[in-house]
Amino acid sequence: MAEPEAGKVSPNPEAAQPAAKGAVDATKYVGTPAVGTSKAAAAAGVAGTAPSTEIDRHRRRFVWTMVTGFLMAWFLAFFRFFLPRTLFEPNSVFKIGYPSEFALGVDTKFQQKFRIWVDRTPDRLFVIYARCTHLGCTPDWKPSENKFKCPCHGSGYDSEGINFEGPAPRPMDRAHIELAPDGQILVDTSKLYSWPKGQPSKFNDPGAFLTGV
C-alpha cells in the first residue's frame, strides 16, 4: 500500500465545509441594503409596485366626478347660447264660462289665474284688468266697503274700477270680451280699454262690455 507523499495533506471533507460556508456568507449583504434596490424593498416587506389604496380610489373618483360635472355644465351653457331667448307667458285669450254663471256684482274667482275681475251691473257685463294704474300693483276687492283697495299705496276704486282716492291717476283698464261660438265669454287681455285722465273714456267702445246676456 502506497504511503502518502511527504509534504502533501490529504483532502479532508469536513475541513472544506467551513470554507464553502464562508464563501456563501461572503455573498450576503451586511447591514441595510441600499435604498431603491429590490433588496431594500424586499427587506422592508413591500412589493416593487404598491397597490392602490382605498383612499386613492376615492380621490380619483372625486376628481373624475368634478371634471365630468364641469364639462357637462360647460356643454349646457354652450348649448343654451344657441337657443332663442324667449319668455313664456300665459295665454292672453281665454274663456271664463257662460254669462248666466255670473251674478250682479264683482266676481273675483279669476284674479289669481288671469288677473281679472268679472263685473256685472244691471245693464252690462265687463271685465276689469286687476292692475292699479298708479304703479301696477294688484288691488284687493273689499266687499264690506264695496270698493277695490290697492295694498301698495292706498289707491281706491269703486265697484266698477273708477278711481276716487289715493294716487291712482285714472280708472283701471277693461279687457276685450265677446261671446264665443259656443256661447261662453271669451276674454282677451292683450287688448285693453282705458279712460286716460282728461280724455274721453273707451269703456263704451264695442268689445269693452256685453249687453243683453
pLDDT at residue 77, as a whole number? 77
Please give the CATH number for the structural domain made up of 93-193. Answer: 2.102.10.10
The domains of the chain are located at: 93-193
Q: What pTM was computed for the model?
A: 0.60
Strand partners, 123: none
Strand partners, 111: none
In 10 A of CB 194, how many CB atoms? 17
Query: Would you say 176 and 187 are in contact if contact means Cβ atoms under 8 Å apart?
Result: yes
Tell me the pLDDT tens digit for each residue of 51-90. 568 788 888 888 888 888 888 888 777 766 666 555 456 6
pLDDT at residue 53, as a whole number? 81
pLDDT at residue 63, as a whole number? 87
How far apart CA 160 and CA 174 sit, in angstroms, is: 10
pLDDT at residue 21, as a whole number? 47
Helix H or strand E segment including 83: none
Q: In the chain, which stretches have pLDDT less than 50?
A: 1-4, 6-10, 13, 15-16, 18-27, 29, 40-41, 43-44, 46-50, 87
For residue 127, give the nearest of 192, 213, 202, 196 by alpha carbon.
192
Query: Would you say 160 and 121 are in contact if contact means Cβ atoms under 8 Å apart?
Result: yes
Strand partners, 95: 186
pLDDT at residue 204, as a whole number? 96
The C-alpha cell at 162 is: 273708477
Residue 136, SS3 per DSSP: coil
